[in-house]
Amino acid sequence: MVRPWNEWLIIWGYDIEQGERKLSNDEAISIVRNLVGDETLAVKVRSTSTWTVNEMYAGHYSSGRVFCVGDAVHRHPPTNGLGSNTSIQDAYNLCWKLKLVLEGHAAPSLLETYSAERQPVGKQIVTRANKSIGDFPPIFEAVGLVASTDPAEARKAIAARKAPTAEGKARRKKLYEAIANKSYEFNCHGVELNQRYGSTAVVSDGTPMPAFTRDHELYYQATTWPGAHLPHVWVEHHGERKSTLDLTGKGRFTLLTGIGGDGWKTAAAAVEKAYGLPVDVVTIGPQGCDALDIYADWYRQSEVDEDGCVLVRPDMYVAWRAKESATDASDVLLDVFGRILGRSAQAKSVAAA
């Protein structure tokens, strides 16, 4: 549907081995009527065009001062979605890095992390979408709509699936299994959110990447491991229920900590003084903190102690985390930002001073 309820998009396939089809207006109308099942339907064709399934992704997203995003670097069929989210995520990843470099806060090396982080995601999305389009034929086969295009034979095959026979039982089993496999198209939350960025814009906390406990394509596994997307947790902030995602982003780095994390506030101030880069600090915990951990969900999901911290990038991915407070918190955080911004030498100079 393009516009309710009288403007529609019709997709119709043809044998590509017979060459590209150029439809006349009458042929297009005939196809629409045949698909709808009404030979008297009044149809006005606005336009026709051809479209081919793509399985394409770039090996690199950038070269020097040129950066490519969206369909320019990943093209796939509409299974698993049209790709808009992936394209927007490309831009979301790149824009904050461009801003920091153009404003002089970061070295140009930060821009090299764009391709390093997003190219694997584009490859995964394209691969999964094409696998999903390949999961349709088993459904048609199970229903019995492959062997013949004759309507009578099709009805006979469909009826056989309902029969109390060995053949009917086998057809039903194949159909249920084929439909279940489509979860990889319609319910693949892992494909959408389980990214683990690996680049110099992410600083390791010394722990290994957590293993996936369930199918990593189907199920999202929340973690604050550096390189992962910040988990969503409901908290209360200024009397309103908000997500941890609402407390971060907006073009700024955010440091999430809790009771006993005052040292990280001092460290954030040191970062701003050294790099001219403001860092928001939000404490999450019981009453008295900036955000009330209403259900103790952040306590369970943060994977750090109350006096530890989680550093969140402007694109809401975890840049780094500390299990607990540190006596040299300022030096530690200055070093982390020095690595991310490509200013390690400057960080060491500030720490020495």
- Residues 246, 327 within the same domain: yes
36 and 121 fall within a common domain: no
Instruction: Report yes or no on 106 lying in a domain.
Output: yes
Q: Which domain holds residue 170?
A: 137-181
* CATH number where 246 lies: 3.40.30.120
How many CB atoms within 10 Å of residue 282?
Answer: 19
Q: What is the pLDDT of residue 16?
A: 82
Neighbours of 178 (CB within 10 A): 18
Confidence at residue 154, expressed as pLDDT on a 0 to 100 scale? 86
User: Is residue 87 a part of any domain in this protein?
Assistant: yes
pLDDT average, residue stretch 51-61: 93
Examine the domain organization and report whether 112 and 44 are in the same domain.
Answer: no
201 within some domain: no
Answer yes or no: is pLDDT of 261 > 80. yes
What's the Cα-to-Cα distance from 10 to each of 31, 49, 129, 160, rounded to whole Å?
A: 9, 11, 20, 30
**Proportion of the chain above pLDDT 90, given as a percent:** 82
Residues 157 and 95 in one domain: no
Looking at the fold, whether 239 and 170 belong to one and the same domain comes out as: no
Instruction: Determine the pLDDT at residue 349.
Output: 63
Q: Is residue 64 part of a domain?
A: yes
Task: Choose one of 181, 215, 245: the last residue of a domain.
Answer: 181
> What pLDDT, in 10s, does the model give residues 84-122?
999 999 999 999 999 999 999 999 999 999 999 999 999
Kindly tell me if the per-residue pLDDT of 350 is higher than 80: no
Residue 242 lies in a domain: yes
Instruction: Give me the mean pLDDT over the 165-190 stretch.
Output: 94
For position 14, what pLDDT does the model report? 82
pLDDT of residue 13: 82
In the chain, DSSP finds a helix count (H) and a strand count (E) of 12, 11
d(CA 189, CA 218): 5
- Is 85 found in the same domain as 47? no
Query: Is it the case that residue 346 has pLDDT exceeding 80?
Result: no
Region 233-259: what's the mean pLDDT? 97
Is residue 195 assigned to a domain?
no
Output the pTM of the full model: 0.89
Could you report the per-residue pLDDT of 289-325, keeping only the tens digit for each?
999 999 999 999 999 999 999 999 999 999 999 999 9
Do 245 and 325 sit in the same domain of this protein?
yes
For residue 99, the domain's CATH number is 3.50.50.60
Choice between 150 and 282, residue whose per-residue pLDDT is larger: 282
Distance between CA atoms of residues 193 and 195, nearest Å: 6
* C-beta of residue 339 within 8 angstroms of C-beta of residue 311: no
What average pLDDT does the segment 192-205 reach? 97
My answer on whether 343 and 256 are in the same domain is yes
The answer on 141 and 125 residing in a single domain is no
63 falls within a domain: yes
DSSP string, 276-344: S--EEEEEEESBTBSEE-TTSHHHHHS-S-TT-EEEE-TTSBEEEEESS--TTHHHHHHHHHHHHHT-H
One domain, residues 240 and 336 = yes
Report the domain count for the chain: 4
Q: Is 150's pLDDT higher than 90? A: no
Given this model, what pLDDT does residue 1 score? 79
* pLDDT interval class at 12 (50, 70, 90): confident
Domain end marker among 37, 52, 67:
52
- Residue 269 inside a domain? The answer is yes
